[in-house]
């Protein structure tokens, strides 16, 4: 009666431990890399409230006028160097929140490109500045 010798034959069970180890490593890799594969622009839209948002500091506002010109606060900048200038402005600021104002006649693609440039500078929060909707029956002036 020999146990574990050479003549004992083939093992009848499958060892699944290496398979499980490989699957767990792949699961972790996909969980870490999946959020990085998503492309798009994340926007924190303001909620519809009647009161304005309180701010301790002067907010950083990026504006796009009806001619498609981009402004950082009140200073005009070209769209080709906009991201570079915004990055320099944000280096000196503790708060990395930016508010975007765009004329309603501006094409959607231009607004998205500016939003993409803003997000590429590492902005923590991007808010859209809008006017409250007029109630039905209210006089428009």
Annotated domain spans of the chain = 60-128
Is the pLDDT reported for residue 81 higher than 80? yes
- Give me the torsion for CA of 89, 45, 105, 71, rounded to 10°: -10
Percent of all residues in the chain with a pLDDT value above 70, rounded to a whole number: 72
pLDDT at 41: 38
Mean pLDDT computed over every residue of the chain: 76
- Strand-pairing partners, residue 100, are 62, 128
Q: Which of 25-29, 43-47, 66-70 has the lowest mean pLDDT?
A: 43-47
Q: What is the pLDDT of residues 69-79, one digit of tens each?
A: 888 888 888 88
C-alpha closest to that of 103 among 137, 70, 64: 64
**What's CA 59's distance to the chain center, in Å?**
19
- Stretch 52-74: mean pLDDT, rounded? 77
Confidence of residue 90 (pLDDT cuts 50, 70, 90): confident
Contact 97, 123 (CB under 8 A): yes
d(CA 9, CA 46): 71
pLDDT at 45: 39
Q: 60-128 in CATH: which number? A: 3.30.420.270
Is the pLDDT reported for residue 123 higher than 70? yes
Is the pLDDT reported for residue 46 higher than 60? no
Q: What is the pLDDT of residues 91-113, one digit of tens each?
A: 888 888 888 888 878 888 888 89
3-state helix, strand, coil in the chain (%, to 5): 35, 15, 50
């Amino acid at each position: 009666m020999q146990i574990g010798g050479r003549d004992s034959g083939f093992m009848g069970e499958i060892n699944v431990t290496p398979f499980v180890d490989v699957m767990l490593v792949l699961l972790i890799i996909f969980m870490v890399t999946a959020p990085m594969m998503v492309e798009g622009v994340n926007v924190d839209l303001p909620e519809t409230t009647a009161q304005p948002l309180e701010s301790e500091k002067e907010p950083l506002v990026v504006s796009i006028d009806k001619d498609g010109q981009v402004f950082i606060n009140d200073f005009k900048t070209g769209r080709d160097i906009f991201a570079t200038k915004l990055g320099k402005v944000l280096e000196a600021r503790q708060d990395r929140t930016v508010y975007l104002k765009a004329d309603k006649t501006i094409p959607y693609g231009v607004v998205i490109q500016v939003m993409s440039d803003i997000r590429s500078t590492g902005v923590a929060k991007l808010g859209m500045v809008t006017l409250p909707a007029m109630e039905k029956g209210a006089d428009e002036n």
